[in-house]
């Protein structure tokens, strides 16, 4: 398995190394450029400050600029001063390289790396050259302004910041893509768990998830084949059983026309009862098998739940001695597959009435976008350890909820299958009256 994961993570680790290397390189380049700019700015600030001092001295001595700056003693100052006048800089400095203009001062770089600046003399068109001097005494009282922000002191912080930003950008894209693909697999697995056996994972996933997607699709194919086989078997067997059952019913009908004794008539009645039970069981098996897989057909319809429940109660053959009380908080309209809703209502009503002692209560509420329906009876209830067992097909409990009540063990299994088809949940608990309380939640409200 590791060989499928190595390429992706190797690329990821390589990208991290490259990101760190690039971050360090870019940071040093940026710092170097900034320092060059900072040095130029400091140089211009210093020369401007120095020129202003000289101008104060010149104006105090009332000497012409050309004379004052020509006779100035450079050994006494931190910069070399040269009178340019109206001449071009190229006549005085052939090897000067122009850098930029800062505060209306043109800055050049000499071959030895020293800087040179061109300043205009106030109220004239003449120019003055002020350039770096490697050695020389400092001007008494001269202290150029200090820079407000020294980037060198924050170089480590800037380096770490650049590294974090670059690594974040490098990691974001692959991790974001990986997250989307994982969410895709989660959604596909959820849909498969809900019974949609036609869903498959995408084949264009990243390498770490490619093998997982292929395994998932193989599993889904195998599961789909098994379910299809089970569907065919579950529906074929009941159909095949009905042919001999019909022949047996024909025989019992012929026997009834004979002169039978009381015991023989009772035996024929029992045979008819068994045939009816088997026929009902076959119908329930077919219903249950159809609920185990989703279909693409969208046959949802709007149903007035108030009228729907009242109609199903009137159509079902229930015990007339067990009244069914239905409580609604409002008129509720649902949008769902009516056939599944009918299976839920019919099976829950039959189950509740068959086990109730005196009454059955149905409460229907709307909670935001959810439908909550509870069905309670006052029978003997269900032991807590059997809460999960009762939804298994053909489950039998060692209490009043046995075959003697007339059930075939498929009603609750069909109900759970229909609830799952509608994307809901069904739970069982104890009723305050001592019987069972089933709570059905469906996300199907308009």
Q: Rounded to the nearest 5°, which phi and psi values hold at 132?
A: -60, 155
CB of 119 closer than 8 Å to CB of 105: yes
Structure token pair of residue 94? 């052939």
* 97 in the same domain as 29: yes
CB neighbour list of residue 426: distance below 8 Å, 6 or more residues apart: 391, 415, 416, 419, 438, 439, 440, 441
Instruction: Tell which of 259, 291, 323 closes a domain.
Output: 291
CB of 130 closer than 8 Å to CB of 79: yes
CA distances from 209 to 9, 13, 99, 157, 348 (A): 12, 18, 54, 38, 44
Residue 3 lies in a domain: no
Residue 52 lies in a domain: yes
**pLDDT for res 439:** 95
Task: Tell me which of 276 and 380 has the higher pLDDT.
Answer: 380
Residue 36 lies in a domain: yes
**pLDDT for res 242:** 73
Task: Tell me which of 44 and 28 has the higher pLDDT.
Answer: 44
Residue 13 lies in a domain: no
Residue 270 lies in a domain: yes
Q: Write out pLDDT tens, residues 29-73.
A: 776 766 667 777 888 888 888 888 888 888 888 888 888 888 888
Q: What is the mean pLDDT of residues 326-353?
A: 89
Distance CA 128, CA 116 (A): 10
**pLDDT for res 428:** 93
CB of 179 closer than 8 Å to CB of 32: no
Instruction: Tell which of 98, 123, 155 closes a domain.
Output: 155
Residue 68 lies in a domain: yes
* 41 in the same domain as 111: yes
* 256 in the same domain as 344: no
* 287 in the same domain as 384: no
**pLDDT for res 134:** 62
Residue 197 lies in a domain: no
The burial class, CB within 10 Å (0-12 / 13-18 / 19+), for 272 is middle
**pLDDT for res 35:** 67
* 143 in the same domain as 84: yes
**pLDDT for res 235:** 65
Instruction: Tell which of 155, 176, 200 closes a domain.
Output: 155
Q: Assign residue 85 a region: left if phi > 0, alpha if psi is -120 to 50, beta otherwise?
A: left
Q: Write out pLDDT tens, residues 88-129.
A: 877 677 778 888 888 888 888 887 878 888 888 888 888 888
Residue 48 lies in a domain: yes
Distance CA 363, CA 352 (A): 13
Domain count, the chain: 3
Q: What is the mean pLDDT of residues 366-382?
A: 90
Q: What is the mean pLDDT of residues 137-161?
A: 57
Distance CA 305, CA 317 (A): 20
* 318 in the same domain as 287: no
Structure token pair of residue 405? 């009540």
Q: What is the mean pLDDT of residues 158-165?
A: 73
Question: Given pLDDT bands bounded at 50, 70 and 90, which one contains residue 298?
Answer: low
CA distances from 327 to 332, 358, 364, 366, 374 (A): 12, 17, 6, 12, 10
**Radius of gyration of the chain, Cα coordinates, nearest whole angstrom:** 47
Look at residue 3 and tell me whether its pLDDT is greater than 50: no
* 335 in the same domain as 235: no
- CATH of residue 310's domain is 3.30.565.10
Q: What is the mean pLDDT of residues 213-227?
A: 85
Look at residue 327 and tell me whether its pLDDT is greater than 90: yes
**pLDDT for res 403:** 47
* 253 in the same domain as 316: no
Select, from the ranges 4-8, 46-50, 136-140, 257-261, the one with the highest average predicted confidence (pLDDT): 46-50
Question: Given pLDDT bands bounded at 50, 70 and 90, which one contains residue 446?
Answer: low
**pLDDT for res 308:** 92
* 431 in the same domain as 317: yes
Q: Specify the residue for token string 């401007």.
A: 48
**pLDDT for res 293:** 58
- CATH of residue 279's domain is 1.10.287
Average pLDDT taken over every residue of the chain: 79
> Which structural domain range is residue 249 located in?
223-291
* 335 in the same domain as 271: no
Structure token pair of residue 339? 């056939």
Helix (H, G, I), strand (E, B) or coil at 377: strand
**pLDDT for res 170:** 72
- Comparing CA positions, the residue from 431, 428, 430 lying closest to residue 440 is 428
* 433 in the same domain as 310: yes
The conformation of residue 144, written as its DSSP 8-state character, comes to P
* 434 in the same domain as 305: yes
CB neighbour list of residue 413: distance below 8 Å, 6 or more residues apart: 288, 391, 392, 393, 394, 395
Question: Given pLDDT bands bounded at 50, 70 and 90, which one contains residue 9?
Answer: low
Look at residue 4 and tell me whether its pLDDT is greater than 50: no
- Return the exposure string of 97-118: e unless at least 16 CB atoms fall within 10 Å of the residue's CB, then b: eebeebeebbbbbeeeeebbbb
């Amino acid at each position: 398995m590791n060989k499928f994961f190595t390429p992706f993570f190797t690329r990821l680790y390589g990208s991290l190394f490259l990101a760190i290397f690039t971050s360090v390189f870019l940071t040093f380049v940026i710092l170097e450029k900034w320092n060059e700019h900072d040095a130029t700015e400091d140089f211009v600030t210093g020369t401007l400050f120095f020129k202003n001092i000289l101008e104060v001295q010149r104006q105090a001595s009332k000497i012409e600029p050309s004379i004052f700056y020509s006779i100035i003693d450079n050994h006494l100052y931190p910069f070399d001063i040269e009178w340019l006048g109206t001449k071009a800089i190229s006549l005085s400095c052939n090897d000067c390289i122009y850098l930029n203009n800062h505060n209306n001062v043109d800055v050049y770089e000499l071959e030895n790396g020293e800087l040179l600046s061109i300043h205009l003399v106030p109220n004239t068109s003449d120019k003055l050259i002020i350039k770096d001097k490697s050695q020389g005494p400092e001007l008494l009282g001269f202290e150029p302004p200090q820079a407000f922000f020294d980037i060198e002191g924050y170089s480590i912080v800037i380096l770490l910041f650049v590294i974090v930003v670059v690594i974040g950008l490098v990691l974001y894209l692959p991790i974001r893509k990986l997250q989307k693909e994982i969410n895709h697999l989660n959604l596909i697995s959820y849909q498969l768990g809900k019974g949609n056996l036609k869903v498959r994972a995408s084949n264009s996933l990243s390498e770490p998830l490619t093998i997982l997607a292929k395994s998932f699709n193989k599993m889904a194919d195998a599961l789909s084949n098994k379910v299809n086989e089970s569907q065919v078997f579950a529906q074929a067997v009941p159909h095949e059983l009905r042919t001999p059952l019909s022949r047996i019913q024909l025989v019992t009908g012929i026997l009834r026309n004979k002169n039978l004794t009381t015991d023989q008539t009772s035996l024929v009645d029992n045979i008819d009862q068994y045939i009816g039970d088997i026929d009902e069981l076959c119908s329930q098996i077919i219903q249950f098998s159809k609920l185990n897989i989703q279909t693409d057909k969208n046959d949802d319809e709007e149903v007035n739940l108030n009228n729907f429940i009242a109609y199903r109660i009137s159509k079902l053959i229930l015990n007339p001695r067990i009244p069914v009380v239905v409580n609604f908080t409002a008129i509720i309209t649902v949008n769902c597959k009516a056939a599944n809703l009918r299976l839920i209502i019919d099976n829950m009503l039959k189950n509740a009435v068959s086990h109730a002692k005196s009454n059955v209560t149905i409460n229907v509420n709307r909670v935001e976008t959810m439908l909550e329906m509870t069905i309670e009876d006052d029978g003997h209830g269900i032991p807590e350890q059997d809460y999960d067992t009762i939804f298994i097909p053909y489950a039998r409990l060692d209490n009043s909820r046995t075959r003697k009540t007339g059930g075939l063990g498929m009603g609750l299994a069909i109900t759970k299958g229909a609830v799952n088809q509608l994307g809901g949940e069904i739970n069982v608990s104890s009723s305050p009256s001592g019987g069972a309380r089933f709570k059905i939640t469906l996300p199907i409200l308009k």
